[in-house]
Amino acid sequence: MEFIEALRLKSKLLLLFILITLGLVLVGVMGYSNTASVKKNLDTIYFGSFVPVIELNDILQIYHGKISNTIYKVKNSQISEELASIQIKEAITKIEFEWKNYESHFKRDMELQYVEYAAIEVQAINGFFRKMALDIALDNLVMESLEARIEHIHNIIKKLINYEVELAKYERKNFLSAYDKIILNIGIILSFTIIGVLLISYYVFKSIQKDHTRLEITTKKLQSANKKLENVSYTDVLTSLHNRRYFNFVYDRELKRAKRTKSYITFMMMDIDYFKQYNDTYGHIEGDFALKSVAKVLKDTLKRPSDFVFRLGGEEFGAILTDVDESNSAMLAREICQNIKAREIKHESSKAGEFLTISIGVVCCEADEDLDEEILMIRADEMLYKAKENGRDGYVITTNVAKV
């Protein structure tokens, strides 16, 4: 169960990671798409209007600068006719190159007709200047006519420039509007993505919290079950006292603790008198009742937290007491004998009296490092034997823990 809950928790965390990743990918794709749209608009402004305006201005500069200045210089005898012819041809070649570049750009339907008209005019004036470059006759040059031609082509090209400038303004306006929409769309998409991720995260974490709570409850139940199982393994089923297995553990632990603190430790070994005869006379059901009654007396008499009572087997019981001196140990043993007899459980087959009784062997000492681990059980068993020799229904206590 715990493994399954942990697996569910991992699955939900993986789902959350996938959803967040998809959200980020979506935002990235939308951002890339909108960035590409911005680039396209910028290209439209730059290559659709800005570059054409530069090319048209270059053409005007060549007409006004190169060609006009060359003709004036020839007229004033500042350069030779041969050099002027070369410069005019170079200028015309440059104009044709720039015009060709200009025509290669995207043109809208509304401007195609005027561009075609302008192309015819540019071709005509270029032809005029090309003929002039072949045979420059100073006497035949009429400056007014020449200026009129250049002014005419200037006005034609200037009109194109103005159109391109107005178009650039229009494109810029559209671009700013599209840009604002893009920013708004990105903001909306990002907001919805964040809200969606937050809602999904809340749901997932809420679910994780519930799973974690269930896991904690399950863990506590498992711990409780383990505790109960452990208690069962250390508890005698019939009397609910600690069993022999737990006695071995506690005996070793308490003996080491008493040695470490150099404190008193007492061990009692108890045996119900003539219990076999009791079972033979009254049966095992009554025998079990007698065992339970003795166990209750022991628990009621030895009730300190540091008092440990055990059923060692059959009708044999044991008790480990800490920080109890010889006189108090003797008093407790005496109380046990009296309290069991006071329950007045009939025992017709007993030679110790008419009621059920118990015999107790007690050993009490101050522990030190020299105390042998088995000596308490050995001495307690010896004292129990003496108590039985003394007629039972009593106790014998000793403080002698020296090795034999």
Q: How far apart are CA 355 and CA 346, in angstroms?
A: 5
pLDDT in tens, 91-107: 888 988 888 888 887 77
Q: What is the pLDDT of residues 35-82, one digit of tens each?
A: 656 555 555 554 455 777 788 888 888 888 788 888 777 777 788 878
- Region 262-291: mean pLDDT is 94
Contact (CB, 8 A) for 375 and 403:
yes
CA distance 309 to 119: 119
Phi/psi-derived region of residue 262, left when phi > 0, alpha when psi is between -120 and 50, beta in every other case: left
pLDDT at 18 (0 to 100): 75
pLDDT digit string (tens) for 5-38? 555 656 666 676 677 777 667 766 666 666 656 5
pTM over 0.85: no
Return the bridge partners of 313, or none: 316
pLDDT band for position 337 (cuts 50, 70, 90): very high
Which of 139, 9, 37 lies closest to 81 in space, CA to CA?
Answer: 139
Residues 366-389 pLDDT 10s: 998 888 888 999 999 999 999 999
Q: What is the pLDDT of residue 248?
A: 92
Decide which of 85 and 35 is more confident.
85
DSSP state of 393: S
3-state secondary structure 89-158: HHHHHHHHHHHHHHHHCCCCHHHHHHHHHHHHHHHHHHHHHHHHHHCCCHHHCCHHHHHHHHHHHHHHHH
**Cα 29 from Cα 43, distance rounded (Å):** 21
